[in-house]
Structure 1
Amino acid sequence: MIDHIVFDIGKVLIHYDPHLPFARIIPDENERKWFFENICTHEWNLEQDRGRSWEEAERLLVELHPTREDHIRSFRRYWHEMVPHAYDSSVVILEKLIEDGRDVTMLTNFASDTFREAQKRFPFLQKPRGVTVSGDIRLIKPDVEIYHHHAKAFGLNPERTIFIDDAPMNIEGARKAGWKGVVFTDPQKLRNDLAAHGIEVG
């Protein structure tokens, strides 16, 4: 029996791709690849999800790469272009679950300020009962502690909780916390996975 459904956000409910603005900012594909692998790396960006301010993040990189200052600051400046649209078919599932009276919350690796920006742009992100934002609590998935925090904050029974995330390692973290989990690849698979756990989405 599942009583609680927890959604990730990026690449489950909304699209995210940092190459979208940077294809214009750094048109050369090889140079752009080098920039993301050596300057504005995934690991660097993850620290903003962990709670580091953008001001501090930019300062650290500008000190190391002063000739790249404009490109570095473009990451936050054009963040809105990295999240151009929602996945409508996923949003339909989220909203239908809420309409059916299911307990729905969200757990996301997201910087605090960009999450609030996303909530304004995508109002459906305000429909679930609540959300745990990694940047607010300085914990990130797949650290098992963020799942414990979320369960305690929202009164979830771990054994009756299912987590939906696009990253297998984050699902594994949820399972270590005693939750069930399904890896998101597309909306139809999500419907099938939920049905396998007794949750029919009309």
Structure 2
Amino acid sequence: MPIEAVIFDVGNVLIEWNPERFYDKAIGIERRKQMFAELDMHDMNNDIDLGAPFKQRIYDFAEEHPKWGDEIRMWHDNWFDMASPAIDHSWRLLRALRAKGIQVFALSNFGVDNWPPAVEVYPVLGEFDREFVSGRMQMVKPFNRIYEKVEEDTGIEPDRLIFTDDREDNIAAAKARGWKTHLFTDPQGWADRLVTEGLLTEAEAA
């Protein structure tokens, strides 16, 4: 079956997302390791991905853990230092697909409050034909319902979708529904896959 839509994750596909790297620079590797051992920062962020208010959830978490209060608040105050830099080749691929009239969707675990400012900083995030942002939907990958919702809302059969994500669990869930999938490790690998699928030429995927 021909592919009707290409679906991109955002973090570590279109923009790098590495809070640990930021904290290593900001507070030092050893202190960061201690902090992340004592606190589940990613679980806090998962609440945001499920729709919790961005600043409030982080600042409340800081109040709950005053020992690390200043460091926790950095998750909000320095968010764009964690969500950077842009992965330029992936941007080019997205735009090359759209230039050929191929539908391109976002499917991302992302907060409802920080999506709009992210679009301002990274304009490519505003160029999708459809946005499936977990914070708006109040459901996250890799749970089955979010993939089912994409199918329902677009009316596209699973085997006509191709999805790239950097997490194996997210890919596995999509694959189980019959989606074509690509585990993203670098933009060149994704470019090669798009060429193999006949969606782009090598020149268009460069």
| TM-score after normalising by structure 2 | 0.90
Q: State the number of aligned residues.
A: 200
Deviation at residue 61 of structure 1 after TM alignment: 4.6
Hey, what does 1:26 align to over in structure 2? 27
**Could you say if the C-alpha distance between residues 41 and 60 of structure 1 is closer, same or farther in structure 2, counting changes exceeding 3 Å?**
closer
**2:96 counterpart of 1:96:** yes
Deviation at residue 25 of structure 1 after TM alignment: 3.4
The code of the aligned residue for 1:151 comes to E
**Alpha-carbon distance between aligned partners in 1 of 2:129 and 2:76, rounded to the nearest angstrom:** 28
Hey, what does 1:143 align to over in structure 2? 143
User: Does the 8 Å CA contact 1:7/1:105 hold for their aligned counterparts?
Assistant: yes
RMSD: 1.7
The code of the aligned residue for 2:59 comes to E
User: Does the 8 Å CA contact 1:20/1:81 hold for their aligned counterparts?
Assistant: no
After TM superposition, list the pairs within 5 Å mapping 1:28-107 onto structure 2.
29-54=29-54, 55-63=56-64, 65-107=65-107
SS of residue matched to 1:148: helix
Hey, what does 1:173 align to over in structure 2? 173
User: Does the 8 Å CA contact 2:62/2:70 hold for their aligned counterparts?
Assistant: no
Deviation at residue 184 of structure 1 after TM alignment: 0.9
**Alpha-carbon distance between aligned partners in 1 of 2:11 and 2:57, rounded to the nearest angstrom:** 23
**Alpha-carbon distance between aligned partners in 2 of 1:60 and 1:84, rounded to the nearest angstrom:** 23
Deviation at residue 128 of structure 1 after TM alignment: 1.6
User: Does the 8 Å CA contact 1:4/1:160 hold for their aligned counterparts?
Assistant: yes
Unaligned runs of 5+ in 1: none
**Alpha-carbon distance between aligned partners in 2 of 1:57 and 1:84, rounded to the nearest angstrom:** 19
Residues 6-15 or 40-49, more deviating: 40-49
**Alpha-carbon distance between aligned partners in 2 of 1:36 and 1:120, rounded to the nearest angstrom:** 30
| TM-score after normalising by structure 1 | 0.91
Hey, what does 1:108 align to over in structure 2? 108
Q: Percent identity?
A: 32
The code of the aligned residue for 2:104 comes to V
Deviation at residue 40 of structure 1 after TM alignment: 4.8
**Alpha-carbon distance between aligned partners in 1 of 2:9 and 2:156, rounded to the nearest angstrom:** 16
SS of residue matched to 2:46: helix
Deviation at residue 57 of structure 1 after TM alignment: 4.3
1:17-62 deviation per Cα after TM superposition (whole angstroms, max 9, x unaligned) = 11344234312x1111121232252222112111122313432452
The code of the aligned residue for 2:26 comes to I
**Alpha-carbon distance between aligned partners in 2 of 1:137 and 1:118, rounded to the nearest angstrom:** 18
Unaligned runs of 5+ in 2: none
